[in-house]
Amino acid sequence: MSLTIYNTLTHDKEVFEPREPGKVGIYACGLTPQGPAHLGHMRGALAFDVIRRWFKYRGYDVTMVQNFTDVDDKIIRKAAEEGIGTVELATRYSNNYLADWNSLGITPVEFVKVTENIPAILQLIAQLLEREHAYVAENGDVYFSVRTFPDYGKLSRRRSDEMESGARIEIDPLKRDPLDFALWKAERPGEPSWPSPWGPGRPGWHIECSALAQKFLGLSFDIHAGGIDLLFPHHENEIAQGEAGTGCVPFARVWMHWGSVNAGGEKMSKSLGNFFTIKEILAEYPAQVLRLYLLSTHYRAPIDYAPERLAETARSYDRLRKALSTADQMSNGAVVDTVSPLHLAKFEDSMDDDFNSAAALGVVFEALSELNKEIASPTPAPAEIAFYSSTVRKLIGSLGIELTSQEASAPDGLTDALIEHALAWRKLARESKNYGLSDRIRDDLKSLGIILEDRPQGTTWQRS
Ligand SMILES: [Zn+2]
C-alpha cells in the first residue's frame, strides 16, 4: 500500500513522502470574501475534506491552513458599493463561507486572515529586498524582480522570454520589467493601509500566500493546493517569493490542483453571473447529494454543472438509502462489523491512487448491487444482507457521506419512525385477523407514497 499523488510540479504521480513521518502539512489558497460562495468555491473545500479524511485513514496527522484575502482591490470596491467598511464586508462573507462549510459537513481547517498577519508579510518583503529580488519604486510600491529568479516558470512550464513576447503586457513606468509584480502597494486615498519601512500601503495579492504558508507550515512544506486557474501567475509568483526570499527550496514539495466548475461551457464565476450559490442548491437537495455529486468526478477533472445531473445523483442517493433501509429491516438485527475484503481492497486502491473518489464510489455501488441481489433473492440470508450493508455504509462513510433518514428528493414530511409505527399497528391488526384494518393501513400509506412489501421475514417498506 502506498499513497500516490499527482504533482503538478513534476507532471507525475509520485509516492507521497512526508517531510516528517506520520505528518502532513497542507496549504490551500482560500478566497476573497466579497460575496456568497458558489459551487466553484466549494469544490476544492470538499475535495480536500475527503483528502484529509483519507490521510487520517492512512494514519497521518493533518494540518491544513487556508487564507482569507480580506483586503484587496475587489474587497475595497465592493465595500465602497455597499457603503460599509472593508473589515465588515470581509467578516460578513467569510462567516457566510464558514456557514456553508458547516452545512456541507466539511471539517474546519486553520483559517488565517491577511489583515491579522501583516508582520509576516512585511518580513518576507524585507527579506526579498535584502536579497535583491525586489525593489522599491519611486511612489513607494515594492515590486518583485522576476529576472532575478531563474526558476521562474518551473511550475507552469513557461519561460520568461516567451511570457513577454506572447502576452499582452501593460507597460507600467513604475516597473523595471513588464513581468515584475507588486509585493506592496503604496497607500491610495480612502484605502486601508498599514505602516511599513517603505511607507504606508497594503500587500499585493500574491505575497500573502507565501508568507502565510511559511509562517504556519514551515519554510519548505508538504503540499500546496489550489484551483487550476491559480497555476499562473499566482502559484508561480508564490514559488518565486517563497524560494527567493528564504533560499529554501522547494517552497512546497507537492502541488495539487483541483479542476474548475463550469456552467454552460464557461467557468462558473461571479463576474459571468453563471453561478449557483451553495444556499440555492441546499434549498433543493440535502448536503449529502451535493457531496456525492462533486465526488463522482476526480478532483483534477473539470465539472460541467448541470442541474439534471444533480437530480440524477439525488435518485442514486435515494436508491442507496432505500436499499440500506430495506436491509436494516431484513437483517433481523444481525450486526456485522466486518466489511467485504474484496470491496475494501478495491476501494482503498482507488483512494490511494491520487484520491480517485470517482472510482471509489464505483466500488460502493458494486457493493450495493451485491446487497440488492441478496435482498431480491428468494431465500435472503440476514447475515449476508448485514455484511453488504455494513460494507456500503463503511466505505461511503469514509468519504464523509452519512446515510441519513432525510429524503433526497420530494420530501414528504413523513419520518421513518412514524412509518415503522404504522407497520407495527398493521402487524397487530393482522395478528388479530382484522384484515380490513390492515389493508386500510397499507392503502393509506400507499396514498402517501409508501409501498409495503410482505416478505417471509416480515414487512419492508420503501418510498415510491
Ligand atoms: Zn494563494
* 15 Cα to the center of ligand 1, angstroms: 25
pLDDT value of position 337: 84
Residues 144 and 188 in one domain: yes
* 256 Cα to the center of ligand 1, angstroms: 12
Residues 74 and 36 in one domain: yes
3-state secondary structure of 225: strand
* 410 Cα to the center of ligand 1, angstroms: 41
Annotate 74-110 with b (16+ C-beta within 10 A) or e (fewer). bbbebbeeeeeebeebbbbbbebbeebbeebebeebe
pLDDT value of position 126: 98
* 111 Cα to the center of ligand 1, angstroms: 13
Residues 76 and 185 in one domain: yes
Q: pTM score, two decimals?
A: 0.87
* 209 Cα to the center of ligand 1, angstroms: 5
* 231 Cα to the center of ligand 1, angstroms: 9
Residues 310 and 450 in one domain: no
Cα torsion 358, 363, 367, 369: sign: positive
Residues 302 and 420 in one domain: no
Residues 258 and 322 in one domain: no
pLDDT value of position 463: 76
Residues 188 and 296 in one domain: no
* 230 Cα to the center of ligand 1, angstroms: 8
* 97 Cα to the center of ligand 1, angstroms: 17
Average pLDDT value for the chain? 91
Measured CA to CA in angstroms, residue 271 lies from 35, 41, 74, 172 at distances of 11, 14, 11, 26
Phi–psi pair at 25, nearest 5 degrees: -115, 125
* 437 Cα to the center of ligand 1, angstroms: 66
46/106 Cα distance (integer angstroms): 7
Residues 309 and 201 in one domain: no
274: in domain: no
Band of pLDDT at residue 410, cut at 50, 70 and 90 = very low
Residues 255 and 302 in one domain: no
64/61 Cα distance (integer angstroms): 10
Phi/psi-derived region of residue 97, left when phi > 0, alpha when psi is between -120 and 50, beta in every other case: alpha
Band of pLDDT at residue 446, cut at 50, 70 and 90 = confident
Residues 198 and 312 in one domain: no
Whether the Cβ atoms of residue 92 and residue 79 lie closer than 8 Å to each other = no
User: Grid cell 474587497 — which residue?
Assistant: 75
Residues 213 and 242 in one domain: yes
Residue 112 has pLDDT above 90, yes or no: yes
* 29 Cα to the center of ligand 1, angstroms: 4
- Rounded to an integer, the average pLDDT of 192-210 is 97
Could you report the per-residue pLDDT of 225-234, keeping only the tens digit for each? 999 999 999 9
Cα torsion 314, 316, 317, 322: sign: positive
Residue 464 has pLDDT above 90, yes or no: no
For the chain, the domain total comes to: 3
Q: Which three cell numbers stand for residue 249?
A: 527550496
- Rounded to an integer, the average pLDDT of 54-72 is 97
206/239 Cα distance (integer angstroms): 10
CA atoms within 13 A on the CB side of 144: 30
179/170 Cα distance (integer angstroms): 9
Residues 336 and 223 in one domain: no
pLDDT value of position 406: 47
Question: Which residues are registered as beta bridge partners of 460?
Answer: 453
* 67 Cα to the center of ligand 1, angstroms: 8
* 285 Cα to the center of ligand 1, angstroms: 31
* 259 Cα to the center of ligand 1, angstroms: 16
* 235 Cα to the center of ligand 1, angstroms: 6
Could you report the per-residue pLDDT of 325-360, keeping only the tens digit for each? 899 888 877 778 889 999 999 999 999 999 999 999
For residue 304, the enclosing domain spans: 285-397
Residue 289 has pLDDT above 80, yes or no: yes
98/93 Cα distance (integer angstroms): 9
pLDDT value of position 445: 85
Could you report the per-residue pLDDT of 23-35, keeping only the tens digit for each? 999 999 999 999 9
